[in-house]
Amino acid sequence: MTASSTDCISKEIHLRAPRTRVWKALADAEEFGTWFGMKLEGRFVPGQQVFGRITHPNYEHIHLEMRVERMEPESLFSYRWHPYPMDMKRDYSVEPMTLVEFRLEVVEGGTLLKVMESGFDQLPPDRRDEAFRMNDAGWTSQMARIERHVTS
């Protein structure tokens, strides 16, 4: 299935850190939360849900749910979630979740990290564009955050 330009966000970054270090930053829920800006309850286990809340100032009221899909050590980590769940009066549980995939490759001088979030075309039309736009900007920011985290 080919994703449309409105359905999928793709980012990548060359990290000057070993793949093992980047994998730990992704696969360990506590460490993931540290650089991502969320407090998660539980561990990342394929097929299980993890709940948490955003810790960024002015976003602490945002609670989230992640459903871990796949964990292939030092290669692939993926989960589903409800993107940009900002309206506290809205029931996001009735909406489809997008799929977030992190892929790691060893490259000269470190690790190539690719992130792709897909499934925006399935979201309700009234929030699809804003969720895509906000998550696109968010992933740009998160790539810089993980870079600082794994190279510090």
Does pLDDT of 126 surpass 80?
yes
**How many Cα atoms sit within 13 Å of 116 on the Cβ side?**
13
Does pLDDT of 41 surpass 90?
yes
Does pLDDT of 1 surpass 50?
no
Any residues with CB less than 8 A from the CB of 83 and at least 6 apart, and which?
98, 117, 120, 123, 131, 132, 134, 135
* Share of residues in the chain with pLDDT > 90 (%): 89
Mean pLDDT computed over 90-109:
97
Q: What pLDDT score was predicted for residue 143?
A: 97
Q: Give CATH for domain 9-151.
A: 3.30.530.20
What are 72's strand-pairing partners?
A: 76
Mean pLDDT computed over 20-37:
98
Confidence label for 5 from pLDDT (cuts 50, 70 and 90): confident
Does pLDDT of 27 surpass 60?
yes
Q: What pLDDT score was predicted for residue 88?
A: 87
Q: What pLDDT score was predicted for residue 2?
A: 44
Q: Domain-by-domain residue ranges, the chain?
A: 9-151
Q: What pLDDT score was predicted for residue 4?
A: 54
Residue 81 has which token pair?
A: 């979630």
